Amino acid sequence: MQDFKSFSTRLSNLKSEDFEVLALELFHFQAQANPIYRKYLDARKIDTQSIKKLDQIPFLPIRFFKDHQVISADPSEFTDFFSSSGTTGMITSRHYIWSEEWYLSHAQQIFENNYGALADFHVLALLPAYLERKGSSLVSMANHFIRKSNSDHSGFYLYNQDELLAKMELLAGNSRKILLLGVTFALLDLAESGKKFLPPPNLLVMETGGMKGRRKEMIREEVHDILKPFFSVNAIHSEYGMTELMSQAYSKGNGKYTLPSSMRVMLRDVNDPLASSKRSQGGINVIDLANFHSCAFIETQDLGRIDSDGMLEVLGRFDNSEVRGCNLLVQ
């Protein structure tokens, strides 16, 4: 296995037909180099040398990020980490990172592959709760997007709704598009505020999920049906990401996410987490090759469906799983 910098370069130029080869190489590296993953594999009595295909790879339950330093190198090399939001009293996850600079470059590449250059946007980030704590990967990404947009109008917003609405009206008809990136509960609060607002025609609204205990969980269609008329848009875009992953997936309004080249989703049986799902839906297991420094094979607490085009539809959470701050709307 090469060093992280070399692997990151290979990942940036990854072709879809090379995904399995790289994933298997990474599995065999992490099965030895990651102490937590190695102990998990040992506990399951996995013969790692027998793993020859993607569907044979065991996935590490995401809860291990709450109690352990999940890394594939000497712990002394890792000081920086992203932490999950959680709600009061909840144990949060920590994802120790190899390079925040690389993470931001990777996130930018994924976004621009889906939406075009950030320089074509004014980026308005409505992220209360996330901005009020340290360690959010979402805030780090949004701040990077704001800087790369190179717009004096881009910036963060907390609860200053009037200022945000005035800014969007000011930018109406501008040659650039407006990206309103918002946590779901804050977008809903804005849409239901009763404030008068003339939506700009060049607006793209993207929700990142997250009720943070501020509102009841809602199905995606219900959320979008509230947001679309207020912002006068035909679709609400969505970002699917989490503290424990370095890659993001994007939906352009139909609830189905396009996966980046660094990510694959494999579904597991809802009744047997060690077995693959025999149906087109099940528990979401994620292979994120951008987690080359930690663990690339994550068993999430999310439920999903894969359509015939390979797009991911997120259906909700397993019963009794903790509510995360990042995207999940119950379907």
**pLDDT per residue over 123-160, tens digit each?**
999 998 777 788 899 999 999 999 999 999 999 999 89
Please give the pLDDT value at position 89.
54
- CA–CA separation, 122 and 141 (whole Å): 15
Residue 228 identity: K
What is the dihedral angle through the alpha carbons of 244, 249, 251, 256, rounded to the nearest 10 degrees?
-90
Please give the pLDDT value at position 90.
67
Please give the pLDDT value at position 329.
40
Residue 324 has pLDDT above 70, yes or no: no
Examine residue 124 and state whether it is found in any structural domain, yes or no.
yes
pLDDT tens figures, 47-77: 999 999 999 999 999 999 999 999 999 888 8
Lowest mean per-residue pLDDT among 85-89, 207-211, 225-229, 305-309: 85-89
Lowest mean per-residue pLDDT among 19-28, 84-93, 141-150: 84-93
Q: What is the 3-state secondary structure (H, E, C) of the chain?
A: CCCHHHHHHHHHCCCHHHHHHHHHHHHHHHHHHCHHHHHHHHHCCCCHHHCCCHHHCCCEECCHHHHCCCCCCCHHHCCCEEECCCCCCCCCCEEECCCHHHHHHHHHHHHHHHHCCHHHEEEEEECCCCCCCCCCHHHHHHHHHHHHHCCCCCEEECCCHHHHHHHHHHCCCCCCEEEEEECHHHHHHHHCCCCCCCCCCCEEEEECCCCCCCCCCCCHHHHHHHHHHHHCCCCCEEEECCCCCCCCEEECCCCEEECCCCEEEEEECCCCCCCECCCCEEEEEEEEHHHCCCCCEEEEEEEEEECCCCCEEEEEECCCCCCCCCCCCCC
Number of domains into which the chain is organized: 1
CATH number of the domain where residue 215 is located: 3.40.50.980
Residue 315 has pLDDT above 80, yes or no: yes
Q: Note down the domain range covering 193.
A: 101-251
Across 272-299, average pLDDT? 91
Distances from the Cα of 314 to the Cα of 80, 130, 240, 304, angstroms: 30, 22, 9, 4
Strand partners, 250: 239, 258
Examine residue 243 and state whether it is found in any structural domain, yes or no.
yes
Examine residue 202 and state whether it is found in any structural domain, yes or no.
yes
Across 93-119, average pLDDT? 96
pLDDT tens figures, 241-267: 999 999 999 999 888 999 999 999 999
Confidence bin at 87 (pLDDT 50/70/90): low
Distances from the Cα of 235 to the Cα of 230, 290, 321, 327, angstroms: 12, 29, 29, 17
Examine residue 260 and state whether it is found in any structural domain, yes or no.
no
Examine residue 76 and state whether it is found in any structural domain, yes or no.
no
Please give the pLDDT value at position 331.
37
Examine residue 140 and state whether it is found in any structural domain, yes or no.
yes
| Residue corresponding to tokens 């027998």 | 50
Lowest mean per-residue pLDDT among 139-143, 194-198, 212-216: 212-216
Across 23-48, average pLDDT? 96
- CA–CA separation, 144 and 139 (whole Å): 8
Phi, psi of 265 (to 5 degrees): -115, 135
Residue 323 has pLDDT above 60, yes or no: no
Please give the pLDDT value at position 128.
87
Examine residue 269 and state whether it is found in any structural domain, yes or no.
no
Confidence bin at 298 (pLDDT 50/70/90): very high
Residue 30 has pLDDT above 80, yes or no: yes
Please give the pLDDT value at position 327.
44
Examine residue 323 and state whether it is found in any structural domain, yes or no.
no
